[in-house]
Structure 1
Amino acid sequence: MRWTLKPNPPEETVKHLAKALNVEDFVATLLVQRGITTFEEARAFFRPSLDNLHDPFLMKDMDKAVSRIETAIKNGENILVFGDYDVDGTTAVSLVSSYLKSFYPNVATYIPDRYDEGYGVSFKGIDFADDNEFTLIIALDCGIKSIDHVNYAKAKNIDFIICDHHRPGDSLPDAVAILDPKRDDCTYPYDELCGCGIGFKLIQALGSNREQSITDLIPYLDLVAAAIAADIVPMTGENRVLAHFGLQVINSDPRPGIKAIIHQIKKQTLDITDVVFIIAPRINAAGRIKHGNHAVELLTEFDFEQAQQFASEIESYNVERKDLDKLITKEALQQIENKGEQERFTSVVFQEDWHKGVIGIVASRLIETYYRPTLVFTKSGDKYAASARSVKGFDVYNALESCAEHLEQFGGHMYAAGMTLLPEKYQEFKDAFEKEVKNTIHPDLLIPEIAVDAEINFTDITPKLIRILKQFEPFGPQNMTPIFLTENIKDTGYGKTMGQEDDHLKLFVKQSRSLGTEGLAAIGFNLGNKIELTAHQKPFQAVYCIDENEWNGKVSLQLRLRDIKAQN
């Protein structure tokens, strides 16, 4: 790992902000690093307010979308709410459908089958709409590239409203309305919303016609917070506001489906990390292993006992997902080693019987071993389908675009994408992708980076600092948990490895320059192999987050080690 200390922002800006907020310079530095330079910006950051949400009608085509839905309601039309099978898609479908059903009965939902239909809007879904007399489809978290599908629906007299947050292609589908802040002609002030976030803006706009205030829509924010966390969108602007209040709903009065998940894990208070690693994987497991409909059933169920039954079924899917994930990761790593591909610039692996529902997770796992852009292929019908994951700073979507001649279709983001190709094109594509990445990636990007916010001493870790850092939450991209560097640390002699394979490290540490102070507990996941660096009270340096550990109802301070190195 390479440790990179973030550059110090302008001293004058830091001093001015520190004085305005009455905080230490290094706290002001953390804020300036996050783009916060004034008292007003700091107030918006530390005190998220629903008043800071933008007018939904600033989004291009919002007026058209609302008008078409109101017409459908007035005319008694059947509305189909369509969304993808991941967390963002299923939460978005649950949000929009449950909102519409609160005052209009002719609403149904449709989640495509991952294996039968694949990602996004499907012809099968449109045929379902036609067979069941739906005349309006609201597509969430997908549709921005579905030109042929929308034309197919139009020929059947079915209108489309598209709510998407992915990058559009060169031309847009012929839909009644396209809500996507990433449209070149959309001037909406914030373009980093997830699909469920776009869905929330839609119900916010619909609510204005029903004399509903933003306060009336707060109960839907548990879904939005889950989608923001799972989709790894920037934790800035509206996302930060929506996640902040969504977490409050999750921890105080969540919908029965989310309450049932929390009930299973028996954790009292959830933060955004818990949403990422506890709630999101379970919602995702339905679409990965069985069908995304199960997630929508769970998230729209109002009877808690029934929700518990759904949550129990989804928990079994999640256990199966974990087993598959481990098995396929092991097979994929073996494949890389057997083919002697350890030194390539990319990992591209294929096995026809790998479960399509977990190949995205496996791609992320492979990056933990071989840190480079990674594609995991499996057979899907008569084609090969893959999930792509990238490393920090490298745009895998652009790389795929450069190799598009070999692909049937592709879509996604900078760090995650999906694609299909014909079997005979696999080797050509694999070679072209390797060549493209080799020619465009900076060598530094192939070494995992820990971006360090500041170097501090243990004496700087005060109760006041902890209180301030808690107010930096919720954390996420562009507002990551602050990482600190401290030098001349020594273990007090209680260091040990933990876990079934001794892969975690537990220490009790002091800093040489402040040995009179009380020591601090430290935990380093997957750092067990570095225990020798801490043995015999040898001095070392560490990068870490300041964490609170909850155990048996007691909360204590601990350092969550990200990496350690011998002291120079």
Structure 2
Amino acid sequence: MEYLWKQKPKTSQPAIDQLSKEINVNLTLANMLINRGVESFEQAKSYFRPSLTSLHDPFLMKDMTEAVERIQVAIAADEKIMVYGDYDVDGTTAVSLMYGFLKTFYSPVVFYIPDRYKEGYGISEKGVRFAAENGIKLIIALDCGIKAIEKVALAKELGVDFIICDHHTPGEELPDAIAVLDAKRKDCNYPYKELSGAGVGFKLIQAIAIKREIDSSQLDAYLDLVAVSIAADIVPITGENRILAYYGLDRLNNTPRPGLKALMLSSNLEKDIGISDVVFKIGPRINASGRLEHAKASVELLISSDLEGAMERAKVVDEVNATRRNFDENITKEAFEMIASREEMAEWNSTVLFKNDWHKGVIGIVASRCIEKYYRPTIILTESNGKATGSARSVVDFNIYQAIEECADLLDQFGGHMYAAGLTLPVENVPAFQEKFEAVVKGRIQEIHRKPVIEVDDELLLDQINYKFYNILKQMAPFGPGNTEPVFRIANVYAEDVTVLKDKHLRFKIVQDGQVTTPVCLGFGMADRAKDPDLTTVNMLRGKMRFDIVAEMRENVFRDKSSLQLYVKDIKFD
């Protein structure tokens, strides 16, 4: 796939010079920091040394007072409380957080995760009726509920109150709940709008702790769950999320809860665990139960109190995840074949595929795989309970939620945000939806959306790549959306010592102005790149052709020896 290299803007030189002098960093670092919103000594101090004391007052969130008061009433009256959450990573971590916190001082609490296949996404009628039939008077919903108008109304008829903690985009009407906690509400003045579902849940337990005079340090035990939710739900690593992720990862690396420790061990993660480790190793394992079986297994793992029991549960989750990978690979292959067999789709601006026997639990992953190959807004649909149900994924800077919203007349329901969404529609509407969605995307998509973009922080010379520079880069973590890992362009080089690893990866050194790099360059999956049989990347590298690379700087530790490496994201030859 061809990538578009996008140089981040160069800030005004006086501003770069001033920040460089104020915090004693080189001009490249100063420019990078300004591009991340760090423009003064005080902002740099907050950025490099995040503090939990900088978290916003939870009572700034609309309806927080009402939420806490209703929970206090429930506790005083010895009412049963149900903690209800979605079946993905954000939902299960949020449920584990809220359930675990309430259980430390109040016993009549249960948790409920809907069955993906029997109940579908969000608040279900079955869940509401289960609560009413079991004498539950209050449901705290996490990572879902913002559009559950009818289900919350039903609960009210049955004598069950709702507190909704969500982070998805609300519709024009809000559910008639006791409290609706969602910073994206138009009437909510909470300063930070990008919390994860578990992040909103954390704000609620913060508020409860303040009201009940619980020491705030007791909330630290839940930060590992919040960090996992932030990473897995791909929310921006900015503002409060950056603080929560920073301390959550610290806990994950040093004192993780038994359930997460078990997942780390089964994932062969030992130290220096970052956002990408959660995204690619821990998150999929937590997700696996909800995708193929029932997500309550993930919650039971995350609330485990001992490592031995957690390891047994993690083993089961691992087995389910292996099965999930098989489904994922097979359905992805079918999707690719379907696209290749339809000539008209080659010219489309979107991908919408439907097959009635695809496994509902992996269609979101398949949508992401299709974007990796074809790079366009994608929706994968299957049949469930007599309806077409699907997962949508988007490309950078294209709002797929808004595109789906324009097709609402063909849908039963939908929800989500800019980059990911879910939807349900009558099976007979699928062809019309494919056409309308394509027309909407065609009208909205711009040239910048047609190629994956690699944002480049700055250009480096080889002699700038050293440990002094790298050690400052490390302090800019955690990396993720809104605070991406620094990427540098190194120009006009040629390769030496080119080696192919496992028939698909490249290892080489680069030479610039006669100077050979100390860092080794690694290009994963680049060995089989080719414009034609004679112009493979390997041949061009070995032929001493000049090229530019964009790469991330990493540290490699082997047999207690450390060295810097360049992880090559793309190569462009002259």
After TM superposition, the score normalised by the length of structure 1 is 0.97
Is the deviation greater in 257-266 or in 327-336? 257-266
Identity %: 49
Of residues 450, 457, 472, the one that matches 1:453 is: 457
After the TM superposition, which residues 243-392 of structure 1 pair with which residues of structure 2 at under 5 Å, given as runs?
243-269=245-271, 270-340=273-343, 341-392=345-396
Task: Report if aligned partners of 2:519, 2:563 keep a CA contact under 8 Å in 1.
Answer: no
Distance in 2 between residues matched to 1:91 and 1:258, nearest whole Å: 11
Alignment correspondent of 1:475:
479
Deviation at 1:13, TM superposition (A): 1.2
May I ask how many residue pairs the two structures share in their alignment? Answer: 562
Which residue, 420, 444, 447 being the options, matches 2:448?
444
1:448 CA displacement = 1.3
Query: Could you tell me how far 1:444 is from its partner in structure 2?
Result: 2.6
Corresponding residue number in structure 2 for 1:60: 62
SS of the residue aligned with 1:348?
Answer: strand
For 2:179, the equivalent position in structure 1 comes to 177
Separation (CA, whole Å) in 1 of partners of 2:54 and 2:480: 19
The DSSP-based 3-state class of the residue aligned with 1:137 is strand
Distance across 1 between alignment mates of 2:66 and 2:42: 35
Q: In the alignment, which residue of structure 2 is the partner of 1:43?
A: 45
Taking a change above 3 Å as real, the CA distance of residues 467 and 305 of structure 1, as seen in their structure-2 partners, is same
Distance 2:50 2:216 in 1: 14
Which residue of 528, 534, 538 maps to 2:545?
A: 538
Which residue is 1:227 aligned to? Answer: 229
Instruction: Report how far residue 553 of structure 1 moved.
Output: 5.1
Cα distance, 1:365 vs. partner? 0.3
Say if 2:510 and 2:521, in contact at 8 Å, map to a contact too.
Answer: no
Q: Which residue of structure 1 lines up, in the alignment, with residue 512 of structure 2?
A: 512
Task: Please say if 1:527 is aligned against 2:538.
Answer: no
Say yes or no: does 1:111 pair with 2:110.
no
* Aligned-partner Cα distance in 2 for 1:552–1:511: 27
Of stretches 318-327 and 203-212 in structure 1, the one that deviates more from structure 2 is 203-212
The match for 1:158 among 137, 160, 168 is 160
Alpha carbons of structure 1 residues 98 and 342: separation in structure 2 relative to 1, 3 Å? same
Unaligned runs of 5+ in 2: 530-536
Q: Which residue identity lines up with residue 400 of structure 1 in the other structure?
A: I
Q: Match for 1:214 among 216, 222, 225?
A: 216
- 8 A Cα contact 2:267 2:282, kept in partner: no
Which amino acid in 2 is paired with 1:370? Y
Q: 1:497: which partner in 2? A: 500
Shift of residue 441, structure 1, vs aligned partner: 0.5
Q: CA deviation at 1:214?
A: 2.7
State the match for 2:136 in structure 1. 134
Q: Is the 8 A contact 2:462 2:517 kept in 1?
A: no
Matches within 5 A, 1:27-38: 27-38=29-40
Deviations 1:283-336 (A, max 9, x none): 111101111101100001102111111000000011111111111110000001
- 2:532 — aligned with what? none
Equivalents in 2 of 1:534, 1:166: separation in Å?
Answer: 47
Are the counterparts in 1 of residues 462 and 512 from structure 2 also a CA contact under 8 Å? no
Is 1:428 matched up with 2:432? yes
Deviation at 1:11, TM superposition (A): 1.3
Instruction: Determine the C-alpha separation between the residues in 2 that align with 1:10 and 1:214.
Output: 42
Secondary structure of 1:537's counterpart equals coil
User: How many angstroms apart in 2 are the aligned matches of 1:550 and 1:373?
Assistant: 39
CA distance in 2, matches of 1:404, 1:532: 51
One-letter amino acid of the counterpart of residue 513, structure 1: D
**3-state SS of paired residue (1:345):** coil
The alignment partner of 2:195 has SS state of coil
Q: Which runs of 5+ in 1 are unaligned?
A: none
Q: Residue 565 of structure 1 aligns with which residue?
A: 572
SS across alignment from 1:342 = helix
| Alpha-carbon distance in structure 2 between the residues aligned to 1:471 and 1:459 | 21
Q: CA deviation at 1:561?
A: 0.5
Instruction: Compute the RMSD of aligned alpha carbons.
Output: 1.1
Distance 1:558 1:442 in 2: 35
